Structure 1
Amino acid sequence: MTSHPFAKSIRSTPEGLLWEPCGRWVRGYKGAVAVVDSRRPVLVWEPGVPVPCYAFPREEVRTDLLRPAKNPRTGAHTGSQTFYDLEADGELVENAAWTFPAEDLAGHIAFEWFRHRYSGLDHWYEEEEEIFVHPRDPHKRVDALAGSRHVVVEIAGTVVADTRRPVLLFETSLPTRYYIPREDIRLDLFTPTDHHTGCPYKGTAEYWSWRGDEDVPRNILWSYPDPLAAVTPVKGLLAFYNEAVDITVDGEREERPVTPFTASLRT
């Protein structure tokens, strides 16, 4: 049995995979074609990958649209897989799907999600809600709570934000993010960029970069102008990467955390 800290229902395989049955009705489309229509999906966590993927019973996949991959990927997923090209809606997508070698997952097919480097299907739905970026992890929480802490943010010794009305966003396995009203931030010190990111828990974010000469990562400041319902309190507020700025909360300077974002901020 797995030692996963959140649920005894998660099983492990000799290959190092973790997997769990999921009761959600999941559908995936390429254009107008329903390639996946599953009421018995399983969530799969690969070693070293922080987010899960779905694998579906073969009988709930349009396998008539799959062909053995002409140029199968190597080292992309755990174990020795079989990769498939997808031909649907007049388009050929290479390596859109694969199978895991684990005996527990025999008879299941997994798909790349459309915002991965190697894209798969165009749209995914859990029940009637469209899901973006990657499947939501049922063992992950995201809570946005209004607060009254005194939060001060500095960059290279310059105070760029000072508020006593932050919204604190608590997300499993990540540091607390402090979302700050615009009027409490020196936005004149930042320039909006064309960078955007998507999050299945929060929505689509827009970004700003520091205008100073100091060595500060780009897109250090972000906001969700139209967040998903679960985090409505952060709408229009802005947050900084704790990994790259100095944040003082109620007079106590916080250490800069090391997270999965740390390396990407450096580059």
Structure 2
Amino acid sequence: MRIRFDNTWIADSEQAILLHEPGHYPVAYLPIEHVEEGVLLPTDRITTHRDLGATRWFTVAGPGRRGERAAWTHTDLPEHASVLAGHVAFAWRAMDGFYEEDERILGHAADNYHRVDIRSSSRHLVVRAAGTTIADTTSPVVLYESGFAPHWYVPRTDVDETALTATQTSTFCPCKGIAGYYSVAGIPDAAWFYRDAFPEAARIDDLVSFEPDKIDVFLDGKQLGVEPGQTVIAHGLDRGLQPDEIAHRDDSGLHNTEGQQ
């Protein structure tokens, strides 16, 4: 893993450790000795992590700018977390980019325990709103994602696109890319799609999925509902799941690093 700040490589390590906490995205910690000298400036700020104890914060210094409280280390770790001793984490949004080899990581450190699997189906999916059929297909595509109910995507040939009105809403998924949204029969943001989905999610590219808590979605005659408890809780400065993160995405990771945020 490598980290870039102020158009400079400030850390490079083959020994990154990922911290996984329930309900949170993974956080990457690098050995302090793998951070360039002079980058970490200690501050007087010390906070307490409820599970990891005292946390000391650093200012991150680049050639032309500084990131206040942009890195941290745990200084009084319990025995079960002693593997993090001497390691430092960097605030995701404060850095120019995190990289695995030459490819930029988007959203958060890669989660080896999070899977996205996409399958073709011949089940009968129908979407209705205000008594009107919006979509009717026997060739949906289903996306299974760790911790979430299956999401069903419909080919546009099976959607009445006259009922769809594009909205200004967009969201970012580090596994799939940027989603755009539609109002459906006047219901705001009741459907979404991924245009130019990431390669690993290419099978849902430009298909349309409908939100079952906003619109009536039936699968083989059974109405779908929203499953409870399907949220990931963001915490701390290491989070930044915003669409602008990939506004200048480049698969090679390195060609467009100048000025990337």
TM-score bin (small chain): 0.7 to 0.9
TM-score (norm 2): 0.77
Partner of 1:93: 67
Which of 203, 225, 236 lines up with 1:255 in the alignment?
Answer: 225
Distance 1:35 1:260 in 2: 36
Partner of 1:180: 154
One-letter amino acid of the counterpart of residue 56, structure 2: T
Task: List alignment gaps of at least 5 residues for structure 2.
Answer: 234-261
Distance 2:184 2:169 in 1: 14
- Report sequence identity in percent: 34
Partner of 1:27: 2
TM-score (norm 1): 0.75
Task: List alignment gaps of at least 5 residues for structure 1.
Answer: 1-25, 115-119
Distance 2:184 2:51 in 1: 37
Partner of 2:89: 110
Distance 2:156 2:219 in 1: 18
Q: Which moved more, 1:94-103 or 1:36-45?
A: 94-103
Partner of 1:147: 121
Over the aligned positions, Cα root-mean-square deviation in angstroms equals 2.7
One-letter amino acid of the counterpart of residue 87, structure 1: A
Partner of 1:198: 172
1:138 to partner: Cα distance: 0.5
8 Å CA contact retained: 1:242, 1:257: no
1:164 to partner: Cα distance: 1.3
Counterparts in 2 of 1:162 and 1:27: CA distance versus 1, 3 Å: same
Question: How many residue pairs align between the two structures?
Answer: 228
Cα deviation, 1:232-255, whole Å, max 9, x if unaligned, reads: 111111112344433211112223
Partner of 2:237: none
One-letter amino acid of the counterpart of residue 240, structure 1: F
1:55 to partner: Cα distance: 0.5
Partner of 2:191: 221
1:156 to partner: Cα distance: 5.7
Counterparts in 2 of 1:206 and 1:76: CA distance versus 1, 3 Å: farther
Partner of 2:211: 241
Partner of 1:8: none
8 Å CA contact retained: 1:47, 1:78: no
Counterparts in 2 of 1:260 and 1:78: CA distance versus 1, 3 Å: farther
One-letter amino acid of the counterpart of residue 144, structure 2: F
Partner of 1:55: 29
Distance 1:87 1:137 in 2: 28
